[in-house]
Amino acid sequence: MSQPTKYWAVVPAAGVGKRMNANCPKQYLPLAGQTVIEQTLHNLLRADVFTAVSVAISVEDPYWPELPVARHQQVITAPGGKERADSVLSALKALQAQASDDDWVLVHDAARPCLMPSDIHLLINTLANDPVGGILALSSHDTLKNVQEGSIVATLDRSHVWRALTPQMFRYGMLKSALEANEGNPAVTDEASALELQGWQPKIVEGRPENIKITRPEDLALAAFYLQQLNLEQSV
């Protein structure tokens, strides 16, 4: 009898977030009564689909062990790497003994605390029978320019341009081998790009615009507002 498909979450959380100008990595900044990473992990855990969540943490990080969620029974800690892709690969390797090549992995940035469980379910349900997998993404409302040295050299056809969000959902075996084949390649800025470099064409699934990445100080106030709105929406 075949086993039901398993879903794993991988959370790269080993960045320093220089653009925040804060005295700790951005994932530990306070947001709506918790830290950013606690909000992110609670959103993943309450989706109620993951066998475990593998979190990549810098080996010099003194903040993570202080958080109760670090000891949650579904949370596994893996050592972070130099680049985001290295951290993702490390978190995948931490699942090696338990995960099968055909299991699905959803990779989600620690710095995206406003992910709605409904977007996780949308991604999973839309891609359930897809041979490759795909990502949450947003269409562009603005006209987009190709700029070189401060001058516009072209206007892009925005109907073909999407903004990549996370989670990004791929089969465990395919994702791990794509990241291993492209180790050290600076073109790998997300999981989809590693798959694309292997010749695959991942799908896009339109996500919610509230799923922002905390990058600059002003993003925290916006994220707090979105969380309040999303919680209100869930309570009705």
- Give the footprint of ligand C5P on this chain (CB under 6 A): 12-15, 27, 56, 80-84, 87, 109-111, 213, 215
- 11 forms beta bridges with 55
Nearer to ligand C5P, 57 or 230 (CB): 57
CA distance 194 to 178: 5
Return all residues near 133 (Cβ < 8 A) that are at least 6 apart: 104, 127, 168, 169, 170, 171, 174, 175, 195, 202, 203
Q: Kindly tell me which of 30 and 234 has the beta carbon lying closer to ligand C5P.
A: 30
Least distance in angstroms from the C-beta of 19 to ligand C5P: 8
Count the alpha carbons within 13 Å of 198 in the hemisphere toward its beta carbon.
Answer: 19
Residue least distant from ligand C5P (Cβ): 15
Which residues, listed in sequence order, are joined to residue 31 by a DSSP beta bridge? 34
Residue 129 Cβ vs ligand C5P, minimum distance, rounded to whole Å: 29
Closer residue to ligand C5P (CB): 30 or 199: 30
Cβ 115 to ligand C5P, closest distance in Å?
12
Q: Token pair for residue 87?
A: 């951290």
Nearer to ligand C5P by C-beta: 70 or 126? 70
Cα–Cα distance between 18 and 23 in angstroms, integer?
A: 10
Torsion of CA 177, 183, 188, 194, to 10 degrees: -10
Minimum Å gap between C-beta 183 and ligand C5P is: 13
The least distance separating ligand C5P from the CB of residue 86, rounded to whole angstroms, comes to 6
Nearer to ligand C5P by Cβ, of 111 and 115: the residue is 111
